[in-house]
Amino acid sequence: MNFSFDVIWHNLPYLLAAARWTLLISVAGMAISIVWGVFLCAARISKNRLLANVAALYISFFRGVPLLVQLLMAYYMLPYVGLDLPAIAAAILAVGLCSAAYTAEILRGALQAIPAGQTEAAHALGIPGFSLWKRILVPQAIRIGLPSLVNELILLVKVSSLASVVGIGELTRISQNITGQTYRPLEIYIAAAAIYFLINLVISGLGRLAEKRLQAG
């Protein structure tokens, strides 16, 4: 068999359109991940033992179960408990809730990397607790954690392919559909791989740019 660029060329518009869904799932998932991750992190390091333990359990569970299983659970079980979300919403939610467990740990690690002396200095200067968080700790935590957060986003782009299993027409699913019509799996999947790779290349480039900005600022 000869590798046919024609097949790729003809189907490229469909693949690119599908890539928008891939981006939507990963970016929306990341948004949920960060917001929910901040809460989880706060709970995890809070002095309330119960809260901290619940957060630790959540983090352990969501990091311990394959995302594909979590997706299937969201897909099958949410309707069962009366939550009839559209498939895409369920997928984004599942991705976000799982990723939040990782984001929480990234933020916790970043907070720990800030020298304790800074907190002490702030206390010595009489800076109140909330300002300390808002103006000193959180900005630094984000700067320290940024490379890991960018990594997490790249991971989400990759795992968004799992959403194909519950029938969402993102890049992987559409590639499967096109393959079903053209019987050209090699070309189509390699093209899909290339698109995923380019998306991640752009994200990591932007991430490095942001890192430089933060370091300069």
Partner 1 sequence: MELDLFVRYGPALIRGFGVTILCWAAGSLGGLVLGFVIACLYRWSIAPVRWVIYAYVEVIRGTPFMIQLFILYYGGPYVGLVLSPVQAGILSFIVYGSPYFSEIFRSGFNAVPKGQVEAARCVGMAEATILRRIVLPQMLVPITPPLTNFFIILTKETAILSVVTVPELLYETQTMAAETFTYVEPFLVLSLFYWLMVIGTNWLGGRVEARVTRHLKRA
Taking each continuous run of H as one helix and of E as one strand, the counts in the chain are: 9, 0
Residue 94 CB-half CA count within 13 A = 26
Closer Cβ to partner 1, 14 or 133, answer by number: 14
Closer Cβ to partner 1, 140 or 176, answer by number: 176
Interface residue with partner 1 among 193, 205, 208, 212 (CB under 8 A) is 193
Answer yes or no whether residue 87 interacts with partner 1 by CB under 8 A: no
Answer yes or no whether residue 182 interacts with partner 1 by CB under 8 A: no
Closer Cβ to partner 1, 40 or 191, answer by number: 191
Distance CA 33, CA 55 (A): 14
Q: What sign does the dihedral 177-180-181-186 (CA atoms) show? A: positive
Answer yes or no whether residue 34 interacts with partner 1 by CB under 8 A: no
> Would you state the structure tokens that stand for residue 121, as one six-digit string?
């200095």
Closest CA to 45 of 155, 153, 133, 147: 133
Helix (H) or strand (E) holding 135: none
Answer yes or no whether residue 102 interacts with partner 1 by CB under 8 A: no
> Would you state the structure tokens that stand for residue 14, as one six-digit string?
């469909």
Q: How far is the CB of 3 from partner 1 (least distance, A)?
A: 9
Residues 133-172 close enough to bind partner 1 by CB under 8 A: 154, 157-162, 164-165, 172
Answer yes or no whether residue 23 interacts with partner 1 by CB under 8 A: no
Answer yes or no whether residue 176 interacts with partner 1 by CB under 8 A: yes
Q: Using N-to-C axis directions, what is the helix angle for 49-64 and 5-44, rounded to 10°?
A: 160
Where on the chain is the footprint of partner 1 (CB under 8 A)? 1, 60-61, 63-70, 72-73, 76-77, 80, 154, 157-162, 164-165, 172, 175-176, 179, 185-186, 189-190, 192-193, 196-197, 200-201
